[in-house]
Amino acid sequence: MRKTLIAFGAILCLLPLTVMAQNKPDVEKQFQRWIASDLGPEARKAGISERTMKTAFNGISLNWSLPDLVPPGTKPPKSQDQSQAEFSSPGAYFSEKRLQGLAATGRGLASTHAATLKRIEAAYGVPGEIVVAIWGRESGFGKARLPYSAIEVLATKAFMSTRKPMFREELIAALTMIERGDVDAATMKGSWAGALGQPQFMPT
């Protein structure tokens, strides 16, 4: 009897995972319909062509490994763990030793790219040292891996996350960048949070 109860309990624990696994294909279909009938019209109003939409979403599916997802039919958690390193592990993120190392590297790169940094400051009003500081802190001067398709991340979070409206706006902004020719959809890489490239800025 005891073994039976233990086995039954184990089955109950696995049920949510089984249900989720069974529902994933259905949710993927909902996602594709959402792109076509919900996101698509808004994108067209924003000036994004059908060609850009097809290119951007070619081969794109939901990324189920991302944090803070709320699939259709489920409720968001009452409390959320902070996933961003600067909030979840501020001691490590702002480690003095780490920052000193970045500062030393940054001084060398600031000298190497002085002319480019001056042009950036003249064009956008952002001091070169600020650009270098962001570059170093956000991606270790380009050493951080950015393995995610930005469109996949932004679309997944716009469709099913705790902050859908925010990521929908970011997704439209990313598509606008592709439409303008600022970046190619296939090479638009970012973090799990949807931030782009070495400075880790959101598309907006």
Q: Where are the domains of the chain?
A: 27-62+146-204, 86-139
How many Å apart are CA 202 and CA 182, to the nearest integer?
A: 14
pLDDT number for residue 95: 79
Of residues 88 and 194, more confidently modeled:
194
| Mean of pLDDT over the chain | 88
- Label residue 19 by pLDDT band (50, 70, 90): very low
pLDDT over 70 at 29, yes or no: yes
pLDDT over 90 at 120, yes or no: yes
pLDDT number for residue 79: 65
pLDDT number for residue 1: 54
pLDDT over 60 at 7, yes or no: no
- Compute φ and ψ for 129, nearest 5 degrees: -65, -30
pLDDT number for residue 12: 47
What fold is seen in the domain 27-62+146-204? Helicase, Ruva Protein; domain 3 (1.10.8)
pLDDT tens digits, one per residue of 151-191: 999 999 999 999 999 999 999 999 999 999 999 999 999 99
pLDDT tens digits, one per residue of 34-66: 999 999 999 999 999 999 999 999 999 999 999
How many Å apart are CA 63 and CA 61, to the nearest integer?
A: 6
pTM listed for this prediction: 0.79
| Cβ atoms of residues 147 and 153 within 8 Å | no
Of residues 159 and 87, more confidently modeled:
159
pLDDT over 70 at 132, yes or no: yes
- Label residue 104 by pLDDT band (50, 70, 90): very high
pLDDT over 50 at 18, yes or no: no
SS3 content of the chain, % helix, strand, coil (to 5): 65, 5, 30
